[in-house]
Structure 1
């Protein structure tokens, strides 16, 4: 633990621009930190890291350093917004591979959706097979068959009553 506190105290002593540079190097090539790396690259490219007030060990907790001069935005189309753009990984950084069935942007992959559907279908099919093996399931199947038989008999009686004395050429 003393090594971590030593590293943390050294990092806290760096000016923000230098700390951003160190973090940029530390996050390079790490797919899990691609968004952090892109944000740091954007911060360093825009020059905002140099304008931020330095955070030192003497900075009171909960204090958030703001830029010395906020950018002016008049609401016109050509003006620059104070809201930062969505970070996009720089061309040198490989995008993180799909992990856990989701793409880097959080969208489920086709394979993961297909696997989930197949798993649920298999579970449902297995449950129905198991249900039929229980006494209650067998009873329900017997009731279904009895109703089907009664329905067929009733339909035959209705057909006979509708035909009355008509002769069917197909029957001898």
Structure 2
């Protein structure tokens, strides 16, 4: 544990700009930290972290992957954007993790949602079938059938009584 406390003391001694630069390097190329990396890039782009020293290692083939210029501000708020830049995952990170239940941005995939719904539906159907096989379930089914039979009989009597009244009123 003493190593962790030493690291924490050293990190606390860094300026905001140095810490932001260090975290940018540490999160670069790690898909699970893409959101944190994008947030740090937004922080650097808006200038909230101060000037970040060039601590990033050389990367090959990633032309134009550095921080983009901050968008122009309207000037109504003192030429400083209050809203941080929209986090955009760095290039090289796939849009979604294949075979996973979530995309790299943390949104569930359509397939995972469909599978979860189908699983819950199947479980509910199975529970219903098992419930009907128990003595209590059979008793409920018998009660339902008895009520249905009584309701049909009552409806037939009502129809016959109404039909009988119609015949009597039409004959003079």
In structure 1, the residue matched to 2:141 is 141
1:140: Cα distance to partner?
A: 2.4
- SS of the aligned residue for 2:50 comes to helix
Instruction: Please give the TM-score of this superposition, normalised by the length of structure 2.
Output: 0.61
Structure 1 residues 34 and 138, CA, compared in 2 at 3 Å: closer, same or farther?
A: same
Instruction: Please give the TM-score of this superposition, normalised by the length of structure 1.
Output: 0.61
How far apart in 2 are the matches of 1:37 and 1:14?
19
- Please tell me whether the aligned partners of residues 34 and 89 of structure 2 are also in contact (alpha carbons under 8 angstroms): yes
- SS of the aligned residue for 1:9 comes to helix
User: What's the C-alpha RMSD, in Å, of the aligned pairs?
Assistant: 3.6
In structure 2, the residue matched to 1:5 is 5
Counterparts of 1:1-172 in structure 2, within 5 Å, are 1-50=1-50, 73-74=75-76, 81-95=81-95, 97=97, 101-147=101-147
User: Number of matched residues?
Assistant: 143
In structure 2, the residue matched to 1:62 is none
> Which blocks of at least 5 consecutive residues in structure 1 are unaligned?
53-70, 163-172
> Which blocks of at least 5 consecutive residues in structure 2 are unaligned?
53-72, 164-172
How far apart in 2 are the matches of 1:148 and 1:48?
72
How far apart in 2 are the matches of 1:27 and 1:110?
28
